Amino acid sequence: MTHKADVTWKDDIAFEATTSGFSIMLDGSPEAGGRNLGPRPKALLLAALGGCTGMDTISILKKMRVSPEYFNVEVEGELSEEHPKVYHTIHIKYIFRGKDLPVDKLEKAISLSQERYCAVTAMLRNSAKIDHKIVIEEP
């Protein structure tokens, strides 16, 4: 199986990326010669990581018959100082809200995502330290 993205230059440093029938604009900040027409490519890596592990986690929790009222994944990357500026450390925060959520099942679902299923984690793990924490908020 292969995936494909078509990335077309639009103006200045703005590009339109199309994949799986969906399009998104990519652009830089005005300081970098862009016009803020869309997110930066590196930030999309963080979003991809959050989406990948979030989808895994909620899918696994559903199989465990755990249904949080709210679930959010926050991903923060620390960039190196020198070029190429890459994420050397990535922090993932899994935020749950719900009554009597089984912490052991939350931890198990996240562990399975991080260690076995999330392909984005697997790819990024080779270049960055990835850590995570769980936050449970009361409803």
Report long-range pairs for 72-79 (Cβ below 8 Å, ≥24 apart).
Answer: 74/50, 75/46, 75/47, 75/49, 75/50, 76/46, 77/42, 77/45, 77/46, 77/128, 79/42
Strand order in the sheet with 6-11: 6-11, 14-19, 22-26
How large is the average pLDDT for residues 26-32? 97
Of the CA atoms within 13 Å of residue 103, those in its CB half-sphere come to 6
Q: What is the pLDDT of residue 80?
A: 97
Count of other CB atoms within 10 angstroms of residue 6: 10
**15 has pLDDT over 90:** yes
Residue burial 26-57, b: 16+ Cβ < 10 Å; e: rest:
bbbeeeeebeebbeeeeeebbebbbebbbebb
CB 105 within 8 A of CB 94: no
The 10s digit of each residue's pLDDT in 52-91 is 999 999 999 999 999 999 999 999 999 999 999 999 999 9
Domain 41-137 has CATH 3.30.300.20: yes
- Domain spans in the chain, listed from the N-terminal domain onward: 1-39, 41-137
